[in-house]
Structure 1
Amino acid sequence: MLWRDEFVTVNGVIGVIASLPQEQFLFLQKLQQALVKVIKGVGGLSHEQWRSFSNERKTVDARNFLDGDLIESFLDLSRNKMEEIASPLDISVEELCKRVEELTRLH
């Protein structure tokens, strides 16, 4: 990680903006894509719909954005679901848990 900064919103959201090496970002992006196939979105929305911004004038998709909450939810899955996600990423469940747990230390 090259740098990190925190932010808060008027709604009470606390977030972290972090610069990651490209290899790590690409891996986490693949993990996130695998997770949205397994984890159902809030209120029946897709993850992309849930995280996008929309008003009367425009809609902005959340692209090149890693959702730490979604990625951390991997740790709450059953062992079978973890294996379903880890297998196409060509990584063991134990190693993937370790990587996700390391990310939880960013905040």
Structure 2
Amino acid sequence: STGGAIGLIVSLSSEEEFARLSLIQDAVSRESVAIAGLPHGDWRDFVSMPEAPQPHRGFVDGDLLESLLEMPRERQQAVADRLSAAGMAVGGAEGLLREVE
């Protein structure tokens, strides 16, 4: 959260699952509206003054993934199309929504 609280940490079953969810997360991030103009990746990076921000890595943002469920249909389809173009089988927007649910 913006206050630094952690809601839930869950282990994924495999490296493949992590890689797949990471790709979905990246595609959703590209189709999401930036919070106050700040891209999602920058929003989640670790910042410790006076050092430069450290890129986040090693986790999947479930809140971002679930935001796909609330996107307009056109954006959901754009995410599915982006993943399909990258060679990922998602079963269209419907298949992707089922996977994220």
TM-score between the two structures when normalised by the length of structure 1 = 0.74
Uncovered stretches (5+) of structure 1, i.e. residues with no partner: 1-8, 102-107
Residue number in structure 1 paired with 2:97: 97
Q: Which runs of 4+ in 1 moved over 6 A?
A: none
Residue 67 of structure 1 deviates from its aligned partner by 0.8
Count of residue pairs brought into register by the alignment? 92
Partner of 1:78: 72
When structure 1 is superposed on structure 2, of 54-63 and 42-51 the one drifting more is 54-63
- C-alpha distance in structure 1 between counterparts of 2:49 and 2:4, whole Å: 24
Aligned-pair Cα RMSD in Å: 1.9
**Relative CO higher for 1 or 2, CA cutoff 8 Å, sep ≥ 6?**
2
**Structure 1 counterpart of 2:94, which letter?**
E
Q: Percent of aligned pairs with the same residue? A: 36
SS of the residue 1:15 aligns to: coil
Letter in 1 for 2:81: S
1:36 matched to 2:29? The reply is: yes
- The answer for unaligned runs of 5 or more in structure 2 is 85-89
